[in-house]
């Protein structure tokens, strides 16, 4: 199993550009989520999904869109990039066991917005 | 809503010394508790978790943690630190009925030779 994969590893954008961060998992996990990690802020939840076709907002959703058309994929879209979105982005997945359980993290995408 | 505090931003220890990283949580019922480790440039990896039962939990890489309800704590310990343990450590707390744990801000562990 590849686990959770994220592409790209690094990305530089200009203010106002749009892009999609890709996330895929091959563990048949129901739950997937996106976090951003900033120095001194820990991990902050952006959006999450508890199954195909179901998404919800986390703590910091503004400026980001998600969709979940398949169990495997959970892309994160930046509609109009801003310097405040410079961060490291992590995707995670977990079993839909009805309770908080182990999350499996991807290697991250380091995004810089100029 | 649940919350978690990691009081120490940085911890420095010498190789071979013992280690304790602090984690305090706020939640009205018995929480689900986790410790994750993040090596430089990597994603997070689960070290151990507590759901119920024995309050002393063993994890990978020789780590253990103890759930103390009276102190609302879930401190991570290791008897002898190795240089490869240098990393960022995150405590997380989850509530019943939710998939979503809340992460602390992390503690950076520095290991001196």
Q: What is the full DSSP assignment across A35-93? A: EEEETTTEEEEEEEEEETTEEEE-SS-TTEEE--SSSSB--EEESS--GGG-EEEEEEE
| Three-state DSSP state, B102 | strand
Does the CB of B44 have a partner CB in chain A at under 8 Å? yes
Q: Residue B60: is its pLDDT beyond 90?
A: yes
- Contact between A105 and B32 using a beta-carbon 8 Å cutoff: no
pLDDT of residue B96: 79
B31/A30 Cα distance (integer angstroms): 22
Question: Residues A79-93: pLDDT tens digits?
Answer: 999 999 999 999 999
Instruction: Collapse the DSSP code of B83 into the 3-class scheme (helix H, G, I; strand E, B; otherwise coil) and give the result.
Output: helix
Check CB contact under 8 Å for B43 and A102.
Answer: no
Q: Which of B96, B98, B103 sits opposite A43 (nearest CB)?
A: B103
Closest to A43 (Cβ–Cβ): which among B45, B90, B94? B90
Check residues A107 and B99 and name the one with the higher pLDDT. Answer: A107
A34-77 confidence digits (pLDDT tens): 999 998 888 999 999 999 999 999 999 999 999 999 999 999 99
What is the rounded average pLDDT of the residues B77-102?
92
pLDDT value, residue A61: 97
Measure in Å the smallest separation between the Cα of A83 and chain B Cα atoms: 21
A88 touches chain B (CB under 8 A): no
Per-residue pLDDT at A98 exceeds 90: no
pLDDT band at B27 (very low <50, low <70, confident <90, very high): confident
Query: Nearest C-alpha of chain B: how many angstroms from A14?
Result: 23
Q: Mean pLDDT in chain B? A: 94
Q: Is A8 exposed, middle or buried (0-12, 13-18, 19+ CB in 10 A)?
A: exposed
Residue B98 at interface with chain A, using a CB cutoff of 8 Å: yes
Q: How far apart are CA B106 and CA A87, in angstroms?
A: 16
- For the stretch B32-50, pLDDT in tens is 999 999 999 899 999 999 9
Rg, chain A, Cα only: 13
């Amino acid at each position: 199993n590849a686990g959770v994969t994220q592409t790209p590893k690094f990305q530089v954008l200009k203010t106002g550009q749009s892009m999609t961060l890709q996330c895929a998992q091959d563990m048949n996990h129901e739950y997937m989520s996106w976090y951003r990690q900033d120095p001194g802020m820990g991990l902050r939840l952006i959006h999450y999904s508890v199954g195909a076709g179901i998404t919800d907002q986390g703590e910091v959703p503004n400026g980001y869109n998600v969709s979940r058309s398949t169990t495997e994929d959970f892309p994160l879209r930046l509609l109009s990039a801003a310097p405040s979105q410079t961060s490291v982005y992590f995707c995670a997945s977990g079993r839909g066991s009805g309770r908080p359980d182990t999350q499996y993290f991807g290697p991250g995408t380091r995004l810089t917005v100029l | 809503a649940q919350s978690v505090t990691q009081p120490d931003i940085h911890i420095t220890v010498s190789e071979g010394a013992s280690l304790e990283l602090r984690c305090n949580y706020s939640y009205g019922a018995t929480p689900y508790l986790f410790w994750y480790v993040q090596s430089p440039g990597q994603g997070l990896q689960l070290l151990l978790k507590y759901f119920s039962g024995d309050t002393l939990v063993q994890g990978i890489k020789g780590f253990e943690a103890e759930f103390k309800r009276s102190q609302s704590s879930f401190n991570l310990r290791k008897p002898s630190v190795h240089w490869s343990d240098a990393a960022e450590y995150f405590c997380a707390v989850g509530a019943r009925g939710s998939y979503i744990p809340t992460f602390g801000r992390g503690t950076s562990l520095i290991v001196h030779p």
